Chains A and B, each alone.
Chain A
Amino acid sequence: MWRGSARVLQKNIRRNLVSRAVKGGLTALLLKTGQPFQYNVLLTGAAYSTKIQPKLTAESYPSILRNPNYKQLAADDVSFFKNVVGETGVLEASGSEDLALFNEDWMRKYKGQSKLVLRPKTTQQVAKILRYCNEKKLAVVPQGGNTGLVGGSVPVFDEIVLSLTQLNKVRSFDEVSGILKCDAGVILENADNFLADHGYIFPLDLGAKGSCHVGGVVATNAGGLRLLRYGSLHGTVLGLEVVLPNGEVLNTMNALRKDNTGYDLKQLFIGSEGTIGVITGVSILTPPRPKAFNVSFLGVESYEAVQEVFVQAKQELSEILSAFEFMDSKSQELTKLHLKDVAEPLTEKYPFYILIETSGSNKEHDDAKLEAFLEKTMESGLVLDGVVAQDETELRNLWQWREMIPESSQAGGGVYKYDVSLPLKDLYSLVEAANDKLSEKGLMDPEDATKPVISAVGYGHVGDGNLHLNVAVREYSKDVEKALEPFVYEFVSSKNGSISAEHGLGFQKKNYIGYSKSDQEIKMMKNLKDNYDPHHILNPYKFL
C-alpha cells in the first residue's frame, strides 16, 4: 500500500489522491482515511460564507413590525411540543445557545429571534404541530437545509422553526419507472447518491446539494444546473405529501405521470416557499444516469459570442448538451482569489467564459460530437481558447470555476444576489447597468477598502435565460441596497423579465412581486393564502 498516505493526507489534499489510493487499494486503509474528500464540502453544513455577524432582521428593517395577533411562546406550548416530538426533537434557546444555525441564513444577511426549533420525525408529528400552532396562532417557519438565498427559510421575529432535518428517509424507489419517493428532509446529494447506486440521477443539481433538502428545493422550485436537460420541478415532481396549516394532510404521493382528473393540486406547493403548507414527502420521476460526461471551458470575446456559441451548441450537440453556463471575467477574478489550489482553466484572460457539459450514454459518440463542435467554433474564431477535461478530476475542477462563484462573491464580506430571468439578448445588459449605477454613485472599487462594493459580477444559465447578478460587498449597507433596489427590479420589469428566476421571493423580494406579477395574479395568490392559512401562521412577513 501507499506508504506516504497519512503524510499526504495531512499536507495535501490538492488532488484528493489519498481517497483514490484508498479506493484503488481496496484494503483496510479505508478505516484510516474514511470518506473521500469532496469538493462541495465547502458548501455544506454550517460553514457560513462570511464571518461578519449579521444584525437582527428586526433592527435592519425597523419598519417591519411583529404581528401582534401571533401568540407569544409560553412554557405550556413547549411542553406540548415535547409531548409530540420528544425531548430530543425540541431545541430551545438558552444562555449560550441562540439557535444561530436556524435563525441565520446562509449569507448571514438576516437573523431571526426564534427561541424554539422543532424537529419532527414523522408526517403525523408535523400535522400535530401545525394543528396546535394554528389553534394557538403561533407563527411557524418551515426550514429545510437553510440554504435559501432570499431569506425565506429563517424567522424574522420569534416564529417557531419547523426543521425537517429528521424527516430524512427514502421511502421507495421503482427501478423500472425511475420514480423515487422520499421524505422532504432527505439531503439532495444523499438522494442523488442513492439514485446513482441504481443507475438513475436526480433531475436537479445545484451548488448547495450537500446541505439542501429535497423538500426545500421543491418548496422553492429551485432550478439549478440540470434544468436545461431535465426541465423544471413542475414537470418532474409527480406527487407530494403536504401538511396544511390546519393539520390536514394532502397526499398525492401515488400520482401517475398522466392524470387529468381535476386540478393538479401539487403544483400549488411547488414554489410556494412554505406559505400555504409544509411539504413532508416528495414523489419524483428520475431519469437514467448518463454514463459519459464531458466538460469544456471556453473563452470568448463578447456576450454576443456567448449567444452564438449557445445557438451552435444546441444545433451540434443537441440531445447530449446538459449544461451551458456563462461567466463574466470579473466573476472569475473573484473566484480566483478564493480557489487558490485549483488550476486555472485558461492562461489568458477573456471577457466571457463558457462552461459546456455534455452527458450521454456513449462516450465515443459524445467525444466525437463535442470535438467536431469545438473544432468548428474554434476555427471560425468564435471561441478564442478553451480546454477539455481529460479525467474526472479535471472535470470537477472545471465545474468549480462556475460553482464556487457564489461562495467567492461573498468571501469579501457579503453579497447582494439578484437572480433574474431575462430575454437572452438582454441578459447581460443588467450587469452592465448595475456596474454603471454603482460606479456613478461612487460606491464601488475593487481595491479601495472604504467603498462598500468590491465588484458586480454576472454569470448564469444561458440555456434557461437565467442571470445571476452578484454584487460582492465588504459589508451590507443601506446605500448599496438603495442603489440597487428597486433599480434592478425596474430594469428587469422594463425588459419583461422575472425578478426571481429560481431563488424565490422570500424576505428579500417580498415587496417586489408586483414587478413580475399582475394585480390579478397577486389577488388570487392572496385568496389561496387566506383560504388555506386563514391565521397566516406559515412563514409570515415573507412574500404574501
Chain B
Amino acid sequence: MSKSLRILVPVKRVIDYAIKPRINKAGTGVEKTGVKFSMNPFDDIAVEEAVRLREKHKNLVESVHAVSIGPAKAQDILRTALAKGADTCTLIDAKEAELEPLAVAKVLKRVVEAQNANLVILGKQSIDDDCNNTGQMLAGLLNWPQATNAAKIELDAARGRVQVTREVDGGEEIVSAALPMVVTTDLRLNTPRYATLPNLMKAKKKPMEKLTLADFGDVDTQARLQTLKVEEPATRSAGVKVGSVDELVEKLKAAKAI
C-alpha cells in the first residue's frame, strides 16, 4: 500500500453536550437560539482517530478531509477539525434544513466520490437525534464494508486491510475488512486533543470548500419523517424519607414493588 489512504471525516454541529437542551415554546423541537453549539463528541473522536492514523502511518495517509452539512456556522466546527489536524474541509450549507440520516448518507456518498476517499471515519451517532444510522446507510449506498462502534482501529498496511475492535455485550469483537470501508467511532476509541494556538492559527489558512445543498440538486434530501410533538420526560416526583425498615417494607408493599 503506497501513500494511498484518503480519509474522510464527516462532522456534525450539535448543541454542546454539557448544555441542557430545552424544548421550544411551540413544542416542535429543541430551543436553539442563544445555545452553545459544538462538534458532536463522537465526531471529535473520529477526527482525532484520523489524525492519529496519519501520525502513526505517515507514509500511508495521503489526506484527512473533514466535511459538515449544516448551517453556515458549521464552519466553526470545521475550523476546530482543521486545528486538530484535518488538512482540508468542505462546508455544505444546508441553511436551516435538518437532514435525516438517509439524506446525509446520500450527500456524503457524493462527497466520498468527489474526494476519492477510501476510508470514512465518523461518529457512531450524533448526540442530538441519537439515530445511529448515517454510517451504516453510507456503507450500504457505497456498497463498502462497515465496522461500527470502533473501540480500536488498526491498519494492516501490507494487506490493505483495516482491523477494528468493537465492544459488544460480554466482550470484544474483532472484525477486519479490506479498504475501502466505513468505520464509526465509539466513546473509548481515544481522547481527543485540545486545539493548540499555533494549530488554530494555521487552521485559518487551510482551505475550506464551500458548497450548498443546491450543488447536490439531484439528491433527494426531503424529510420523510414528520415531527408531531416534542415533550420533556415527566419530572421525577420527590422521594420520601422513611423512619424505619418496617415502614420501608410497608411502603414497598403498598407500591406493589415487593
A residues with CB within 8 A of B: 1-2, 4, 7-8, 11-12, 14-17, 19-21, 23-28, 30-31, 291-292, 296-298, 343, 345-346, 363, 371, 374-375, 378, 383, 385-394, 396, 398
A393 touches B200 (CB 8 A): no
Query: What B residues does A394 contact at CB under 8 A?
Result: 194
> Which of B's residues lie within 8 Å of A, judged by CB?
14-21, 23, 30, 34, 36, 38-39, 41, 44, 80, 83, 125, 127-130, 132, 149, 167, 169, 186-188, 191-198, 200-201, 230-233, 236
Cβ-closest chain A residue relative to B234: A28
| CB atoms of B127 and A24 under 8 A apart | yes
Given contacts A15-B187, A24-B21, A392-B17, is CB(A385)–CB(B130) below 8 Å?
no
Q: Tell me the bound Cα distance from A14 to B192 in angstroms.
A: 11
Interchain nearest-CB distance for B133 vs A (Å): 13
Contacts of A24 on B, CB cut-off 8 Å?
14-15, 17, 21, 127-130
**Chain A interface helix/strand/loop/mixed:** mixed
Enumerate 14 A-B pairs (CB-CB under 8 Å) in ascending A order: A2-B132, A7-B169, A20-B17, A20-B18, A24-B15, A26-B230, A375-B201, A383-B197, A385-B198, A386-B196, A386-B197, A393-B17, A393-B18, A394-B194
Query: Which residues of B are found within 8 Å of A12, using beta-carbon distances?
Result: 187-188
Q: Give the docked Cα–Cα distance between A117 and B18 (Å).
A: 38
Given contacts A27-B233, A390-B80, contact A20 B127 (CB under 8 A): yes
With contacts defined as CB atoms under 8 Å apart, how many contacts are there between chain A and chain B in the complex? 120
Q: Once bound together, how far apart are the Cα atoms of A391 and B16, in whole Å?
A: 7
Give the CA-CA distance A297 to B23 in the complex, in Å.
Answer: 34
Q: Tell me, in angstroms, the Cα distance from A435 to B15 when the chains sit together.
A: 47
Q: Which of A296, A392, A396 has the most CB of B within 10 A?
A: A392
Once the chains are docked, how many angstroms separate the CA of A394 from the CA of B200? 15
Contact partner of A23 (CB less than 8 A), chosen from B17, B83, B191, is: B17
Q: Are B23 and A392 in contact (CB under 8 A)?
A: no
Looking at chain B's contact residues, is the secondary structure mostly helix, strand, loop, or mixed? loop
B residues in contact with A371, CB < 8 Å: 200
Measured in the bound complex, the distance between the Cα atoms of B18 and A390 in whole Å is 12
**A385 close to B196 (CB less than 8 A):** yes
**Partner among A14, A28, A345, A392 whose Cβ is within 8 Å of the Cβ of B36:** A392
The answer to whether A343 and B192 touch (CB under 8 A), given A378-B201, A388-B197, is yes
The answer to whether A374 and B21 have CB atoms under 8 Å apart is no
Contacts of A28 in B (CB 8 A): 233
The docked-state distance in angstroms from the alpha carbon of A349 to that of B6 is: 34
Contact indicator B197/A391 (Cβ below 8 Å): no
CB atoms of A385 and B197 under 8 A apart: yes
Q: Which residue of A lies closest to B186 (CB)?
A: A4
Given A23-B21, A25-B130, A392 and B38 contact (CB-CB distance below 8 Å): yes
Complex Cα distance A15/B191, Å?
9
For B231, what are the chain A residues with a Cβ–Cβ distance below 8 Å? 26
Cα A392 to Cα B198 with chains together (Å): 21
- Who on chain B is nearest to A374 by CB? B197
Ranked 6 nearest A-B pairs via Cβ: A20-B17, A391-B38, A392-B18, A387-B194, A386-B197, A24-B127
Q: How many whole Å from B195's CB to the nearest CB in chain A?
A: 5
Q: Contact between B233 and A391 (Cβ–Cβ < 8 Å)?
A: no
Q: Note all chain A residues with C-beta closer than 8 A to B20.
A: 23
Residues of B contacting A23 in the complex (Cβ-Cβ under 8 angstroms): 17, 19-21
Bound: A14/B130 CA distance, A: 19
Query: Residues of A contacting B230 with CB < 8 Å?
Result: 26
Closest Cβ of chain B to A325, distance in Å, is 17
CB–CB B197/A345 < 8 A: no
Known A2-B130, A17-B187, A21-B127; contact A388-B200, beta-carbon cutoff 8 A? yes
Q: Hey, which chain A residues are within 8 Å of B39, CB to CB?
A: 390-391
Kindly list chain A residues whose C-beta atoms are within 8 Å of the C-beta of B14: 24
Closest CB in chain B relative to A218 CB, distance in Å? 29
Closest B residue to A367 by CB, please name it. B76
Residue of A nearest to B45 (CB): A15
CB atoms of A26 and B38 under 8 A apart: no
A374 to B204, CA, bound (A): 14
Bound together, the chains give a CA A389 to CA B18 distance in angstroms of 13
